[in-house]
Amino acid sequence: MTKISIIGAGSFFTQHIVVDILNISGLDSGEIALVDVDPERLELARQLVEQVVKMTGKSFRVSASVNRKEVLPGTRFVVNQIEVAGMQTVRNDFEIPLKYGVKQCIGDTLGPGGLFKILRTVPVWLEIVRDIEELCPDAMILNYTNPMSAVTLATVKSSPIPVVGLCHSIQNTSRQLSEYANVPYEELKWRAGGINHMSWFVELTHHGRDLYPALIAQMNDPEFVAKDPVRLDFMKYSGAFVSESSGHFSEYIPYYRKRQELIDKHCGPDYKGETGFYANRWPAMRERSDKAIRAKLSGEEPIALESSHEYAAVIIEAVLSNSPKVIYGNVPNEGLIHNLPAGGIVEVACMVDRNGVHPTRFGSLPEHLAALCRSNMAFFELAVDAVIQRSRDMAFHALLVDPLTSAVCSPEEIKRMFDELYEADRAYIPELS
């Protein structure tokens, strides 16, 4: 019997992942185990998953517990989607940097928000990894938790358990590019590589025709640019489109958020770069998500059974059926991208079969694009090592080299900001020396 455990099951991703799993042809029975530290959200997830199982007619057992040790034994695949103290800290992570002129949109991957999310998340996650090693050592970890690169890197540095970091950036962005270029998605050909949230579509063609000149020609149309303002603007100057939304991407580079006039010029509402978007809207978004689940359970809203574009079920199917599939995964850079640091986490095309995930060699990125990835990878390396070595200096140095923070603040200001954030988040992070 195949057992799949979802850690952080209160996440809104759970429904999509479970529907995808239950849509796997030939996988008619098994167990889906749910874990969450919030009993109320865990119960909502349990009821929803049971309803989806009933609707598909498959013979899956559903179990749930706030104690992961009760459900991990026998697990074949562990899906990680935890959120550690995010609701308690989201205001601190936004408002304290704002006093120093650092204006974040999302703040969950790089920057001050990303750093302190790493300091909160990685210690908790590594405790979970220890339990996986003890209770289901033959499992494969499918990591969805952001910061994706940091959580995956911490896992690789700390455990022999196989892990792959998963995102929907490549799937979603490739579809967006087919719309921007006005070509059928099935006919779009691309080659992408880099790091999570900063993979570059270095080749983009339709029947052998390079699509970039036509995309760049549309930059004279303000309505076109407004669809994806930061990514399209940077494509104009860099020659390649990046894999994450304008709001996310604007935080990973030093160009667009260091002055208010640049934010006004290049950033749009919501995920297009709105300052404070995540901090101001996330609590309401979570509340709406829980309300939507209750509406589905009561029958007020339908439960969709169409498969999503997530990769978790693709991997599970490929491993169980030995039917090779291709995904874009986040894996250690073992000769995959030549001009990115060895051992860091990179995002490349991977083949999956019964033997696991097999990354493919990308080669070299254009050097200017590799340089931007390297700045982010240095941040992740310092932040993860800060947790593993319990080093406050390393954590500060991660913020010191962060692209957005260093574009706005002096070293002295960064140190004061770091110390203030550290005190504000002290209850949620282990002591660093």
pLDDT tens digits along 40-51:
999 999 999 999
Q: Which two structure tokens, joined as six digits, stand for 270?
A: 């919501």
Do 97 and 126 reside in the same domain of the chain? no
Domain that holds residue 199: 89-106+167-275+310-433
Do 346 and 409 reside in the same domain of the chain? yes
Q: What is the pLDDT of residue 286?
A: 85
Domain C-terminal end among 166, 191, 212: 166
Do 76 and 173 reside in the same domain of the chain? no
> Which among 16, 168, 309, 358 is annotated as catalytic?
168
pTM of the model: 0.97
Query: Which CATH number is 420's domain given?
Result: 3.90.1820.10
Query: CA 239 to CA 241: how far, in whole Å?
Result: 7
Confidence of residue 421 (pLDDT cuts 50, 70, 90): very high
Any domain includes 211: yes
Any domain includes 281: no
Q: What is the pLDDT of residue 285?
A: 86
Do 101 and 132 reside in the same domain of the chain? no
Do 7 and 116 reside in the same domain of the chain? yes
CA 296, chain centre distance (Å):
26
Do 322 and 347 reside in the same domain of the chain? yes
Q: Which residues contact 57 (CB under 8 A, 6 or more apart)?
A: none
Residue 86 in this model has a pLDDT that exceeds 90:
no
Determine contact, residues 248/109, Cβ cutoff 8 Å.
yes
Any domain includes 293: no
Any domain includes 366: yes
Residue 284 in this model has a pLDDT that exceeds 90:
no
Do 326 and 398 reside in the same domain of the chain? yes
Q: What is the pLDDT of residues 1-58, one digit of tens each?
A: 899 999 999 988 899 999 999 999 999 999 999 999 999 999 999 999 999 999 999 9
Domain C-terminal end among 141, 166, 191: 166
Do 160 and 208 reside in the same domain of the chain? no
Do 75 and 183 reside in the same domain of the chain? no
Domain C-terminal end among 122, 141, 166: 166
Do 258 and 370 reside in the same domain of the chain? yes
Number of domains comprising the chain: 2
Query: Which CATH number is 130's domain given?
Result: 3.40.50.720
Query: CA 342 to CA 337: how far, in whole Å?
Result: 8
Q: What is the pLDDT of residues 321-369, one digit of tens each?
A: 989 999 999 999 999 999 999 999 999 999 999 999 999 999 999 999 9
% of residues, the chain, pLDDT over 90: 95
For the segment 396-407, the average pLDDT, to the nearest whole number, is 98
Annotation says 358 is catalytic: no
Any domain includes 289: no
Do 174 and 147 reside in the same domain of the chain? no
